[in-house]
């Protein structure tokens, strides 16, 4: 079936950068949104960034100016470039694809921002 696989997480110091990748496979159908969520321990899963099929992007206020979502249609991959990372960015980051009838999720990749 459909598979989304996140990668690129790891440990980084405050002020550092990481780029997350979400590679898709299988027949997903018409995708309205590709989105990145994150969830810290004991907290809800929050929307971080989204990109539409037309390339329109949106960001949570907490990451505006620091994170950039993009896509490579040839590689069937969505990216999240994270700059100026803060300890509060520490979370498991999940890739999400929304279609008319289904929502697909990856298993997540851990991002830890610590000195």
Q: Spell out the per-residue pLDDT of the chain, length 115, in tens.
A: 788 999 999 999 999 999 999 998 877 667 778 999 999 999 999 999 999 988 999 999 999 999 999 998 778 899 999 999 999 999 999 999 998 888 999 999 999 999 9
Residues in the chain: 115
Q: Is the dihedral of CA 32, 22, 115, 44 positive or negative?
A: positive
At residue 21, the pLDDT reads: 97
b vs e for 57-78, b when ≥16 Cβ sit within 10 Å of the residue's Cβ? eebeeebeeebbbebeeeeebb
């Amino acid at each position: 079936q459909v598979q989304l696989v996140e990668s690129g997480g790891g440990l980084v110091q405050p002020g550092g950068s990481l780029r997350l990748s979400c590679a898709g496979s299988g027949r997903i159908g018409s995708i309205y949104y590709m989105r990145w969520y994150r969830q810290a321990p004991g907290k809800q899963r929050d929307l971080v960034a989204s990109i539409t099929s037309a390339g329109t992007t949106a960001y949570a206020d907490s990451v505006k100016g620091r994170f950039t979502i993009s896509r490579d249609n040839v590689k069937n991959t969505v990216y999240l470039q994270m700059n100026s990372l803060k300890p509060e960015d520490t979370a498991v980051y999940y890739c999400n694809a929304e279609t008319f009838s289904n929502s697909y999720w990856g298993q997540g990749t851990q991002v830890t921002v610590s000195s």
